[in-house]
């Protein structure tokens, strides 16, 4: 007599079945139900990320307030020389010791997100995110030459990864939520939701898809809404310019080319410093970056801190040509050392400072070359921001949209496109790299397959491609039980083995064996002994993407995979069968 399962177990099984159904819908984000659910999760990720950015902003100001009150000055720029030298050096030494002793490594920022997307299926440990949050607060408080968008994107991506793992979602859905978190972090940090969306697709995800855009847009919107009413979280750039004349277009192309050279120089300098600094222990290289910043700050204090005041001064044309050039080059040098030393923080905001300063200098130079025309410092400083960002990150659309969102001026579309593309082309020719992030990945011995097939396989889940028409059978089975199974419309017989793998047989092979007159009297059948073709199958987790499945089949030279997961009481739940032919057919017409 069969034992009736308890009410609690029935409820758990019903709940598990409902969750599996929802996960299957989310796995196929090309369909409306899955996309709708993922949009809701993206919005939730953005809201959580906005709260993290508020915490970051509060922590920095809480620590910086007493620091300035004790030693005088309101900002790093108007502080004493002794203050500007002591604070970054002491801060970098403390930061290096903490990173080396407590965290052992410095895994953070956009490069870490991309690495985790490519090699770890979007799994970002909360410990690494918490470590970067803490270390970035210390770095930004002590005026290191880094930005806050690195920690914003990292904590946002980790939030999306945590939510996806918490709900046990398929890896392709977790990947999208990581992109949602990165976009929300940047949007909440700068109040540039559209630029954040394009940045996430262009730089982090490195692909454009309609299904990916929708949840990432919602994440960026909700992330911005959380910090929208607090204007001091993301100060607005104050640009006031009168437009440009057609005669300036050749000079604008020249400005873009010069900024492309600067962007390429920054990228190549970082690439040259990384292997050299890699031979130095973490604490010493972070301390060295702090010393470089301190020495440069003696003459150019604008290299310290976030730099919004410096950007606004460049937009207003407050600097002379020599001062603006000095600030731009000093910031470039300080940020190169900070980036190569793996200083917690980001590089986007420093490119704003570099680009605006060099753009302002070139604008002032143009006023002398084209009197009466090129005389608007705000125009060239704004375009310098986009050109430098586009050249360093190789993200032209993100750079152009950043110009438009920060300025609120649609009249910048034409000159912005010209300057950004000129900078992009020159930078690619000199730096021979897709972006600074791609170069840093290569310096770690990593690379990013981003061909169309890999893009598709990463977006698709094994759930959406697997065959559910199978039956699990024992190796030795009675003739009656086998006849009953063969009456069902199935494609595979799955025979479990003791080594965790399985063998697959086609029901047709078994039916032909049984139809032979010589086997009419058999009462038990050994499925591993009868004639027939068998496929050697390896297990793969139900959360896996088709890229993981493809890699596992290639690595093990397997014929097929068994999609499964381990449930309660170590009970294995099997969901379907995935063959090499099915994976090949998913991207080959």
Residue 442: partners with Cβ closer than 8 Å, 6 or more residues away? 433
Rounded mean pLDDT, 379-385: 89
Gap between the Cα atoms of 322 and 248, Å rounded: 22
Tokens of 1: 């007599």
Query: Model confidence over 16-46: pLDDT tens digits?
Result: 555 566 656 565 555 555 677 788 888 888 8
Rounded mean pLDDT, 500-506: 81
Query: Model confidence over 134-162: pLDDT tens digits?
Result: 888 888 888 898 888 888 888 888 888 88
Residue 85: partners with Cβ closer than 8 Å, 6 or more residues away? 294, 295, 297, 298
Higher pLDDT, 210 or 354: 354
Q: What pLDDT is attached to residue 361? A: 92
Gap between the Cα atoms of 353 and 48, Å rounded: 29
Residue-range domains of the chain with CATH? 19-234 (1.10.3080.10), 246-282+290-443 (1.10.3080.10), 461-587 (3.10.580.10)
Beta strands in 63-180 (DSSP E): none
SS3 374: coil
Query: Model confidence over 222-240: pLDDT tens digits?
Result: 888 887 765 555 555 655 5
pTM: 0.80
Q: Would you say residue 246 has pLDDT above 70?
A: yes
| φ and ψ at residue 543, rounded to 5 degrees | -80, -10
Q: Would you say residue 587 has pLDDT above 80?
A: no
H helices, E strands: number in the chain: 24, 8
Mean pLDDT, the chain, rounded, equals 81
Gap between the Cα atoms of 182 and 46, Å rounded: 9
Q: Would you say residue 104 has pLDDT above 70?
A: no
Gap between the Cα atoms of 284 and 100, Å rounded: 10
Query: Model confidence over 47-93: pLDDT tens digits?
Result: 888 888 888 888 888 887 777 777 666 778 888 888 889 889 998 99
Gap between the Cα atoms of 105 and 100, Å rounded: 6
Query: Model confidence over 189-204: pLDDT tens digits?
Result: 777 888 888 888 888 8
Do 420 and 390 touch, CB atoms closer than 8 A? yes
Query: Model confidence over 477-493: pLDDT tens digits?
Result: 888 888 888 888 888 88
Beta strands in 123-242 (DSSP E): none
The vertex-80 CA angle with 75 and 84, nearest 5°, equals: 70
* Dihedral of the alpha carbons of 510, 512, 516, 518, in degrees to the nearest 10: -30
Q: What pLDDT is attached to residue 1? A: 42
Tokens of 47: 């809201």
Count other Cβ atoms within 10 Å, centred on residue 533.
10
Higher pLDDT, 384 or 511: 384
Do 287 and 92 touch, CB atoms closer than 8 A? yes
pLDDT band, residue 172 (cuts 50/70/90) = confident
Do 252 and 418 touch, CB atoms closer than 8 A? yes
Least confident span in 28-32, 74-78, 508-512, 563-567:
28-32
The vertex-350 CA angle with 331 and 417, nearest 5°, equals: 110
562: number of CA atoms within 13 Å, CB side?
26
Rounded mean pLDDT, 573-587: 81
Gap between the Cα atoms of 485 and 507, Å rounded: 9
């Amino acid at each position: 007599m069969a034992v009736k399962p308890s009410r609690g177990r029935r409820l758990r099984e019903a709940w598990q079945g409902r969750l599996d159904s929802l996960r299957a819908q989310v796995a196929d984000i090309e369909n409306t139900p899955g996309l709708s659910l993922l949009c809701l999760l993206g919005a939730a990720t953005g809201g959580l990320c906005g709260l993290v950015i508020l915490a970051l902003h509060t922590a920095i100001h809480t620590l910086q307030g007493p620091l300035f009150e004790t030693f005088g000055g309101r900002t790093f720029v108007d502080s004493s020389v002794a203050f500007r030298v002591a604070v970054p050096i002491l801060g970098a030494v403390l930061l290096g010791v903490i990173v080396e002793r407590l965290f052992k490594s410095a895994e953070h920022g956009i490069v870490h997100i991309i690495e985790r997307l490519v090699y770890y299926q979007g799994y970002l440990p909360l410990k690494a995110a918490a470590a970067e949050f803490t270390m970035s607060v210390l770095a930004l408080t002590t005026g290191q030459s880094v930005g806050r968008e690195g920690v914003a994107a990292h904590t946002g991506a980790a939030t999306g990864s945590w939510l996806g793992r918490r709900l046990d979602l398929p890896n392709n859905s977790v990947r999208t939520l990581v992109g949602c978190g990165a976009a929300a972090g940047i949007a909440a940090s700068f109040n540039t939701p559209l630029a954040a969306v394009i940045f996430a697709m262009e730089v982090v995800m490195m692909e454009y898809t309609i299904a990916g855009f929708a949840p990432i847009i919602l994440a960026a919107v909700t992330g911005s809404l959380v910090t929208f009413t607090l204007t001091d979280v993301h100060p607005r750039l104050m640009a006031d310019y009168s437009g440009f004349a057609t005669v300036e277009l050749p000079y604008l192309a020249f400005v873009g080319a010069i900024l492309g050279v600067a962007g390429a120089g920054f990228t190549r300098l970082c690439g040259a410093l990384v292997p050299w600094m890699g031979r130095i222990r973490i604490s010493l290289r972070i301390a060295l970056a702090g010393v470089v910043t301190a020495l440069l700050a003696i003459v150019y204090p604008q290299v310290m801190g976030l730099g919004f005041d410096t950007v606004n001064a460049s937009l207003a044309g407050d600097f002379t040509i020599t001062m603006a050039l000095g600030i731009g080059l000093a910031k470039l040098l300080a940020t190169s050392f900070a980036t190569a030393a793996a200083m917690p923080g980001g590089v986007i905001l420093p490119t704003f400072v570099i680009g605006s300063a060099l753009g302002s200098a070139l604008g002032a130079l143009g006023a002398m070359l084209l009197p009466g025309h090129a005389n608007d410092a705000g125009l060239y400083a704004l375009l310098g921001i986009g050109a430098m960002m586009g050249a360093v990150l190789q993200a032209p659309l993100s750079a152009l949209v950043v110009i438009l969102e920060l300025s609120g001026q649609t009249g910048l579309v034409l000159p912005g496109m010209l300057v950004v593309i000129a900078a992009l082309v020159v930078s690619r020719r000199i730096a021979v790299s897709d972006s600074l992030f791609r170069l840093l990945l290569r310096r770690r011995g990593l690379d990013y397959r981003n061909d169309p097939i890999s893009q598709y396989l990463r977006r698709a889940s094994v759930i959406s491609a697997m065959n559910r028409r199978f039956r699990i059978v024992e190796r030795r089975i009675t003739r009656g039980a086998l006849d009953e199974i063969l009456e069902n419309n199935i494609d595979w017989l799955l025979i479990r083995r003791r080594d965790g793998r399985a063998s697959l047989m086609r029901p047709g092979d078994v039916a032909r064996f049984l139809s032979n007159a010589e086997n009419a009297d058999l009462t038990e059948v050994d499925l591993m002994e009868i004639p027939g073709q068998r496929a050697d199958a390896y297990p793969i987790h139900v959360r896996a993407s088709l890229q993981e499945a493809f890699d596992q089949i290639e690595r093990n030279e397997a014929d097929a995979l068994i999609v499964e997961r381990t449930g309660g009481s170590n009970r294995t739940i099997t969901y379907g069968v995935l063959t090499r032919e099915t994976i090949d057919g998913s991207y080959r017409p």
